[in-house]
Amino acid sequence: MFASVTLLCLCVVFIILQLKSRRPKNFPPGPTALPILGNILHLNLKNPLKDFERLRKSYGDVYSLFIGSKPAVIVNGVKAMKEALVTKATDFAGRPQDLFVNDATVSKGVILADYGSFWRDHRRFALMTLRNFGLGKDSMEERIHGELRYTIDTLEKSIGKSFSPRLIFHNAASNIICQVLFGTRYEYDDEFIKVIVQCFTENAKIANGPWAMLYDTLPMIRNLPLPFSKAFKNVKTCQNLVKCLLTEHKKTRVPGEPRDFLDCYLDEMEKRGNDGSSFSEDELTSYALDLHFAGTDTTSNTLLTGFLYLMTYPHIQERCQQEIDRVLEGKDRASFDDRHLMPYMQAVIHEVQRIANTVPLSVFHCTTKDTELMGYSIPKGTMIIPNLTSVLSEEGQWKFPHEFNPENFLNDKGEFVKPEAFMPFSAGPRMCLGEGLARMELFLIMVTLLRKFKFIWPEDAGVPDYSPVYGVTLTPKPYHMKVQHKPMQ
């Protein structure tokens, strides 16, 4: 009997050892992983960012975790991040293809596309088309100022009242990118805008939430009717809305005379013909949604973070307004070039982006070949998680890494400087497509609104809570603001 029990125990131990996730030779260190579950118990599924920092203190800037049975390398700190995303950019430019976000979007679109000819063709096309539609030119400024008229009108109607600014900023950012993509803007109560914004907001929370992590860890639950299925419905809803717009465009477009991004893509499809090209209507639908999400959620959440801090740091808001009034004296409105004359405003906007940390884990990468990072061996196909949080608050890289302070971007002479650790848009060939548009929007929107209004934390709002809600993008907790006309200087 004793021998049988001993043999059974040995068999169980042997099976566990066989099932146990094993790190390859010279792979980055990390905590012991459980069979099947991997390191899921080492992470707070609702928000693992503090756990990533805790593990960094134990294992260093490059360490590994197991998502189920699959190893993932977490990259922390400026030195390791630059080696991975810039120095060895092509080695780390892939995208993992067996995750919740891939399945939810049917692996369509350019953000999640793996590194290769499809991605290169579509990224090149997007950059060229955005440039042709005014990115960095007066025409894009016109679109932003045009939308700002509606934002200002909405704020005017709210003078003296306490209100939530979330939809105002989401709708403004959404409409600016909608004009580029679809050639139109939408009233703030339009069903299209309301549904798209709602779907994006929900999916951003689901995609980096506990249910998505369970989906990635335990493949056997993927077909069950669990909360992550809501994201699949949201994607389908958005795709159907864009397909309706696409049908209308096909009826009304004049080939060779594009009005917007959809027309440009249809022209490109026509030009390529049946050459086996990866350009297709299905890809266009997902591509447009990619660009819309990237151009809406990040910018609106950064604006929400910015005005939360400006209200609760009124001396910083006042100093911004003084600089704005001085530089824009006699001018009808701001232009993007004015940023060069506003070092303090520039510092504030960049500090808002740093503290907002809107996409804390970037978009996951994977290695395209066997490679090395900080002396460790990383096999081809390994998932790479760039922990941008570690860079944007790294000790030694910032004067005040753990507090909101525009001095992080000012030198001793009061001139604007940008430390190398500032990478909220990630870095390398996969950095955010919409960086140029986002920078222009943040500057023109914040300067225009601060020139006209004073933003006040409501008396009955209690102590401000700066801790964000975790998701693919970090979102400030819901808050209220009050506005009044700024006294003329």
**What are the DSSP calls for 147-182, one per residue?**
HHHHHHHHHHTTTTS-B--HHHHHHHHHHHHHHHHH
The residues with which 38 forms a beta bridge, in sequence order, are: 34, 67
What are the φ/ψ torsions at residue 368 (nearest 5 degrees)?
-95, -10
Q: Which two tokens stand for residue 81?
A: 């991040």
Q: Residue 417 has which token pair?
A: 């400087």
pLDDT at 135: 62
3-state secondary structure 423-458: CCCCCHHHCCCCHHHHHHHHHHHHHHHHHHEEEECC
Q: CB within 8 A of 481, min separation 6: which ones?
A: 162, 163, 164, 165, 307, 311, 455, 456, 457, 458
Rounded distance, CA 56 to CA 61, Å? 6
* Sign of the alpha-carbon dihedral angle for 346, 164, 299, 485: negative
Confidence of residue 410 (pLDDT cuts 50, 70, 90): very high
CA 194 to chain centre: 20
pTM above 0.85, yes or no: yes
CA angle 414, 419, 422 (to 5 degrees): 120
pLDDT over threshold 50, residue 203: yes
**Tokens, residue 445:** 């929107």
pLDDT tens digits, residue range 153-183? 999 999 989 999 998 998 899 899 998 899 8
Position 14 pLDDT exceeds 70: no
- For domain 2-485, the CATH superfamily is Cytochrome P450 (1.10.630.10)
Reported as a single tens digit per residue, the pLDDT across 70-116 is: 999 999 999 999 999 999 999 999 998 878 887 777 656 677 778 88
Query: In the structure encoding, which two tokens stand for residue 276, read together?
Result: 């086996």
Over residues 356-380, the pLDDT tens digits come to 999 998 889 999 999 999 999 999 9
Question: Cα angle vertex 17, ends 14, 22, to 5°?
Answer: 155
Rg (CA), the chain: 24
Query: What is the per-residue pLDDT for 15?
Result: 41
